[in-house]
Amino acid sequence: MHVSPRIAALKTSPASLLAKQARELRSAGRDIILLSSGELDFPTPLHVIEAADRAARAVPVGYTDVDGSASLKEAVREKFARENGIICGQDEVIICNGSKQVMFNGLMATIAAGDEVIVPAPYWASYLELVAFAGGTPVVAETNGKLTPDALEKAITPQTRWLILNNPVNPTGGVYSARELAALADVLRRHPHVMVMSDDLYEHIVFDGAAFATMASAAPDLAERTLTVNGVSKAYAMMGWRIGYGAGSRALIANMVKVQSQSTSNASTVSQAAAEAALRGPQIEISHNLASMTQARGKVLEAVRMMPGLAMEAPMGTFYAYVSCAGLLESRTAEGNGLRDDRDVARFLLDEGGVVVMPGADCGLSPYFRINFACLPETLDRALAQIGRAVAMLA
Ligand code: PLP
């Protein structure tokens, strides 16, 4: 079969490959705990399900406008104004199939061959592939967790089209303050050809009272060249409903709508009704879920710090622990095999602990592994005990 060069070079999302591997092992009878995913083990709020039920009973369940139903777009505009101080018109927002499609549309609408996109490392692995798929070149900027103005300045070239900024950061849990964003904005003002893609998907998952900030409000003069990306997946545990949304300039959004009109058309009409209920309805689940995740974070910190060879800092946001496994790289398994890198460590934790983790190599910073702690307390307890037992077997 002939495969296009664009697809031949594309990597499948590591999280989905790990999830598939876990499913296969489970169906072969192994007891496997999946901590590599980006999902929260919480239910969709009931009022959201009821709104979806009503929408599903409409006759017909028709298409909406490609860029989303007028009422969901209105709810998104209100959300941006209320929570982020971002004021945008009806034609400056778009509703997509997940925030991933917002970014896909944004890149497809703007990238030409040779264009560069700055991606701070460590990163969510899909950024690199989305950029490459659109025909651009990802330029990875090394960071100590968060991009500094100096590192940004060094990474910018005349070919730079976008900076992708993820806040809070998957996988390290770093949270940029408004002041840190303002310092990055100072650099961007000197380079008017660079646009900013602000991936705010984990906005509501910040700990210890840390304040969330986003570029379009930290530097309002840059709003015209910022695409603010968000969605309901992580805020409301609605990963599978596939609704993301974005706000940007009228011209950018119009071109993104063109991309979507010839690919998926509108996001699911039923899911749009659900997302509207989530955005407009009671927000209490956000704080309930955050309270559970705060407890889980404490549990992970305590457990990991007791495990020889592992170390971690407390994440300030997201539901991931990015665990350094540098201290395991000299060790040997009972069979005498050495652990050379974080892929070996992940393999070992799966073989000996029955726990799937995401190797740092897939996030652009090694030797680490990422674990998701937005799971049921009993699952997390069991996973931590199994990781602890596996690590203790190393010599
Ligand atoms: N951005 C980040 C940083 C993510 O971790 C994810 C998913 O895990 C996404 C975007 C995509 O999420 P969705 O398409 O469900 O909105």
pLDDT of residue 14: 81
Average pLDDT, whole number, for the chain?
96
pLDDT of residue 139: 98
Residue of 359, 350, 353, 352 whose CA lies nearest to 335: 352
Residue of 76, 96, 104, 233 with the most ligand 1 atoms within 8 Å of its CB, for mutation = 233
Q: What is the DSSP pairing of strand 320-324 with strand 244-247?
A: unpaired
Using DSSP's 3-state secondary structure scheme, residue 324 falls into strand
Cα separation, 189 vs 155, whole angstroms: 15
pLDDT of residue 12: 85
Cα separation, 248 vs 252, whole angstroms: 6
Domain boundaries, the chain: 5-43+284-392, 46-280
Output the DSSP codes for 333-367: -TT--B--SHHHHHHHHHHHH-EE-EEGGGTT-SS
Ligand 1 mean position to 335 CA, how many Å? 38
Ligand 1 mean position to 208 CA, how many Å? 23
Pocket of ligand 1 contains residue 99 by CB under 6 Å: yes
Structure tokens at 172: 């390290």
pLDDT tens readout for residues 173-221: 999 999 999 999 999 999 999 999 999 999 999 999 999 999 999 999 9
Ligand 1 mean position to 328 CA, how many Å? 30
Pocket of ligand 1 contains residue 233 by CB under 6 Å: yes
Cα separation, 360 vs 223, whole angstroms: 33
Pocket of ligand 1 contains residue 244 by CB under 6 Å: yes
Q: Which fold has domain 5-43+284-392?
A: Aspartate Aminotransferase, domain 1 (3.90.1150)
CATH of 46-280, one of 2.30.29.30, 3.40.640.10, 3.40.50.12170, 3.40.50.150: 3.40.640.10
Pocket of ligand 1 contains residue 203 by CB under 6 Å: no
Pocket of ligand 1 contains residue 170 by CB under 6 Å: yes
Cα separation, 366 vs 342, whole angstroms: 7
Instruction: Tell me which residues of the chain have a pLDDT lower than 50.
Output: none
- The residue whose CA has the least distance to atom 4 of ligand 1 is 124
pLDDT of residue 8: 87
Ligand 1 mean position to 106 CA, how many Å? 15
Residue of 357, 255, 260 whose CA lies nearest to 304: 357
Structure tokens at 257: 């709508």
Residue-level length of the chain: 395
Using DSSP's 3-state secondary structure scheme, residue 386 falls into helix
Residue of 119, 170, 318 with the most ligand 1 atoms within 8 Å of its CB, for mutation = 170
pTM assigned to the model: 0.97
pLDDT of residue 267: 98
**Peptide bond preceding 60 in cis form (omega within 30 of 0):** yes
pLDDT of residue 5: 86
- Could you report how far apart the first and last alpha carbons of the chain are, in Å? 48
Pocket of ligand 1 contains residue 124 by CB under 6 Å: yes
Contact 67, 94 (CB under 8 A): yes
Pocket of ligand 1 contains residue 37 by CB under 6 Å: no
Contact 118, 143 (CB under 8 A): no
Q: Which residues contact 98 (CB under 8 A, 6 or more apart)?
A: 231, 233, 242, 243, 244
pLDDT of residue 20: 86
Cα separation, 215 vs 198, whole angstroms: 7
